[in-house]
Homo-oligomer: A and B are copies of this chain.
Amino acid sequence: MMLGSGSVETLARQRKAMDTKAPLTESLMLDTLMNYLVTMARTVESAMNRALDAIVSLDDPRTAALPGEVFLLEPRINEMEIVIDEQAIRLLRQGALPEEELRLIVAGLKLNNDLERIGDLAVNLAERVVSLREMPGAAAPEELSPMVSAVRGMVSQSLGALISRNVEMAGKVLESDDVVDKYRDRIFERQLRSMTGEPESVSSGLQFVLATRHLERIADHATNIAEDIIFWVRGLDVRHGRGMGGLPESRITNNSQTLHSDVTAWGHTDHVIFT
């Protein structure tokens, strides 16, 4: 259904492809990969948002059906993951791809994995909701709602960056990770205190602590997605604290190939790391 609305754009790209040296089929296959990734991203975001809505409205009868909807989406997301991987491998089989297309495919394989795991974590969160709904009077820690908002924002921003190839937006996601970790720690401290003081809160407290770990991991995957987008568009590997800073903008956009080897210094690190 979602892909149908993009058919005009696809047609325009088809025409453009005919004017260039790239074979028509390859261009169409890349379009397909990108369309699949966007559809996967939207499905995962929709599953995750259902889980997030459910965990912040435990007493609301109107959200009681949300966990079940999350469970129903999971097998579909799993199938999508496999289809996207296969599409990426099909493209790689063609061989001799331009550098940026190769990076899109490699980033796509990684993104795909992170998206699927966000889907899994939505299921984990929905399981927490099911348990918590069976514990009437379970009081959510007050930082849960802002933590959920922060995670929702990170995922929304990382998927927006994917759809619009927006490196600046991806960069903003990387800055938000610390906020989520702080909420996690504060909720942990609060739950520890209440569980120690009120034995009747142990069951729900454990569920909330686990829920914050799921949220934290969703934020981690949003960060991974943002890093993959930066790698795809700019050829920059910004994982594990290799920041985007310290490099003039002009160098970043003008020659990603050279830049890549500058930043990561492969020729040197390979030897150092693996001996």
Contacts and interface: CB of A to CB of B under 8 A. Distances in A.
Interface of A: 1, 3-4, 35-36, 39, 75-76, 78-83, 85-89, 92-97, 99, 102-103, 106, 109-110, 113, 188, 192, 195-197, 199-200, 202-203, 206, 209-210, 213, 237, 239-240, 242, 264, 266, 269-270, 273-275
A87 B3 CA distance: 35
Contacts of A203: 192, 196
SS class of chain A's interface: helix, strand, loop or mixed?
A: helix
How many copies, total?
Answer: 2
Contacts of A92: 92, 97, 102, 106
A251 B86 CA distance: 20
B83 A274 contact: yes
8 contacts: A3-B275, A79-B269, A82-B239, A83-B274, A86-B237, A93-B99, A94-B95, A213-B213
A237 B82 contact: yes
B1 A275 contact: yes
